[in-house]
Amino acid sequence: MIHTRGVKKSFGSLQVLKGIDLNIAKSEIVAIVGPSGAGKTTLLQIIGTLDMPNSGMLVINDTDTSRLKDKELAAFRNRNIGFVFQFHQLLPEFTALENVMIPALIGKEKPQVAEKKAKDILDFLKLSDRMEHKPAELSGGEKQRVAVARALINDPAVILADEPSGSLDTKNKEELHALFFELRDKMKQTFVIVTHDEQLAQHTDRIIHMKDGVIIE
Ligand SMILES: Nc1ncnc2c1ncn2[C@@H]1O[C@H](COP(=O)(O)OP(=O)(O)O)[C@@H](O)[C@H]1O
Ligand SMILES: [Mg+2]
């Protein structure tokens, strides 16, 4: 479902990705691990179409992303890719419900439909009673679950997560990881997760080891 071929990326004279070939299937949970500076975040940003490779190809759901113009790419990203970052990146002035609705509204969903969808997802994530709260009034674990709800709202082809449990305590970390597997089992959700967490990595379908801009093994 996701294919990269020969993806290279440099920042100035620093070559950060040196030719990445990757195939990820639907409902697979893949962990990307490796030392700091290996290029994991850069690769995730490129898979997420937030950054462009200097060369190579990225195909998501049979779409060659290099063929899309800026506006088409933004719409494609909104429709197909959900993001979960280490720090939730929820908008502070908006409630949990509003934060979750935003990607659907950007995707031109009717407000009533977006609200219904957001409520259903928040309900599924056991956040119904936190819906009207703003991020500052939520715990770290709740904020990350709201971020997952926001990632899910457009029923994306893949959720990309960069150190999603990196700022959580053990209990919340385990709950968040369990949620990823539940979403895969119940909704066939595909995940690509950059993580330092050994326990999480061991439970995924596949671990991709990166070092110095290449996949090793
Ligand atoms: N926008 C950027 N401009 C310049 N250098 C960058 C940029 N983004 C990342 N880098 C450099 O690329 C290398 C890989 O970074 P990154 O992909 O964040 O690695 P990781 O996530 O594995 O720690 C690092 O040396 C980092 O400093
Ligand atoms: Mg990183």
**Residue pair 65/96 in contact by the 8 Å Cβ criterion:** no
pLDDT tens column, 174-196: 999 999 999 999 999 999 999 99
Q: What is the DSSP letter of 67?
A: G
86/152: higher pLDDT: 152
The stretch 14-27 carries a mean pLDDT of 96
Give 129-194 as a 3 state SS string.
HHCCCCHHHCCHHHHHHHHHHHHHCCCCCEEEEECCCCCCCHHHHHHHHHHHHHHHHHHCCEEEEE
Amino acid residing at 103: P
Report whether residue 217 contacts ligand 1, using a CB cutoff of 6 Å: no
Is residue 216 predicted with pLDDT exceeding 80? yes
User: Percent of the chain having pLDDT more than 90?
Assistant: 94
Instruction: Using alpha carbons, list the distances in angstroms from residue 64 to 2, 3, 53.
Output: 10, 9, 13
What stretches of 50-94 show up as alpha helix (H) in DSSP?
70-80
Q: Grade residue 88 by pLDDT with cuts at 50, 70 and 90.
A: confident
Residue to probe by mutation, ligand 1, list 14, 18, 32, 215, most atoms within 8 Å of CB: 14
According to the model, what pLDDT value does residue 49 have? Answer: 95
Which protein residue has the closest C-alpha to ligand 1 atom 16?
39
The stretch 52-72 carries a mean pLDDT of 94
- Ligand 2 centre to CA of 57 (Å) is 21
pLDDT tens column, 131-188: 999 999 999 999 999 999 999 999 999 999 999 988 889 999 999 999 999 999 999 9
Is residue 86 predicted with pLDDT exceeding 90? no
List the one residue out of 96, 103, 40 whose CA is nearest residue 77: 103
**Residue pair 84/161 in contact by the 8 Å Cβ criterion:** yes
Q: Which atom of ligand 1 is the closest one to the Cα of 35? A: 22
Instruction: Please state the φ and ψ torsions of residue 46, each to the nearest 5 degrees.
Output: -70, -45
Q: Which atom of ligand 1 is the closest one to the Cα of 44? A: 17
**Residue pair 134/91 in contact by the 8 Å Cβ criterion:** no
Which protein residue has the closest C-alpha to ligand 1 atom 9?
42
The stretch 62-67 carries a mean pLDDT of 93
